[in-house]
Amino acid sequence: MKRAIFPGSFDPITLGHYDIIQRGIGLFDELIIAIGENADKSYMFSLEDRMRFIREAFAEEPRIKVASYQGLTIDFCKEVGAGFILRGLRNPGDFEFEKAIAHTNRKLSEIETVFLLTGSGKSYISSSIVRDVIRHGGDYTLLVPDTVRF
């Protein structure tokens, strides 16, 4: 079974994430959306809300699971038996950042990183932009799946 994780904070999940997940499930037998928890980081949405947003967005796809983890992503991969890490790339800056992490993960484990380019119509969307729109009372609904409502 080809199992992958798609790690991130998903604070909140965006249409860019959604795009990567939809296309990623076609590559793997199972895709675990892995919400990393960092005690040093403050989040706009609770872990429970972030998990709910994702579960509801993919309720019709049994091959997509949602989990949270702490610590190294490769340790979580080993824990759940995932041989792949799925990552989305929006721009050249993402590539440089993600490449360094992928090389490090490969050095420390046998886990492969698979990169997908975010669809061009969604490549400008990031969780930080969505949070900024929300903080300023803008219409965030154009940037996130319908399940992100509060």
**Does residue 71 come out as left (phi exceeding 0), alpha (psi in the -120 to 50 range) or beta?**
left
Catalytic residue flag (residue 41): yes
Q: Is residue 60 part of a domain?
A: yes
Q: Is residue 149 part of a domain?
A: no
Q: Is residue 150 part of a domain?
A: no
How far apart are the C-alpha atoms of 89 and 78, rounded to whole Å? Answer: 24
Instruction: Kindly give the confidence (pLDDT) of every residue in the chain, 150 residues in length, as a single tens digit, with 9 standing for 90 and above.
Output: 999 999 999 999 999 999 999 999 999 999 999 999 987 889 999 999 999 999 999 999 999 999 999 999 999 999 999 999 999 999 888 899 999 999 999 999 999 999 999 988 898 999 999 999 999 999 999 999 999 987
Catalytic residue flag (residue 65): no
The CATH number of the domain holding residue 58 is 3.40.50.620
What letter would DSSP give residue 109?
S
pTM: 0.94
- Non-local CB neighbours of 95 within 8 Å, separated by 6+ positions: 89, 115
How far apart are the C-alpha atoms of 121 and 142, rounded to whole Å? Answer: 12
One of 23, 78, 87, 127 is an active-site residue; which one?
127
Q: Is residue 103 part of a domain?
A: yes
Q: Is residue 49 part of a domain?
A: yes
One of 2, 3, 17, 149 is an active-site residue; which one?
17
**Predicted pLDDT at 92:** 85
One of 41, 42, 107, 120 is an active-site residue; which one?
41
Q: Is residue 123 part of a domain?
A: yes
- What total of structural domains would you count in the chain? 1
Residue 144: burial class (beta carbons within 10 Å; 0-12, 13-18, 19+): buried
Instruction: Give the structural domain span for 93.
Output: 3-142
**Predicted pLDDT at 64:** 98
**Predicted pLDDT at 40:** 82
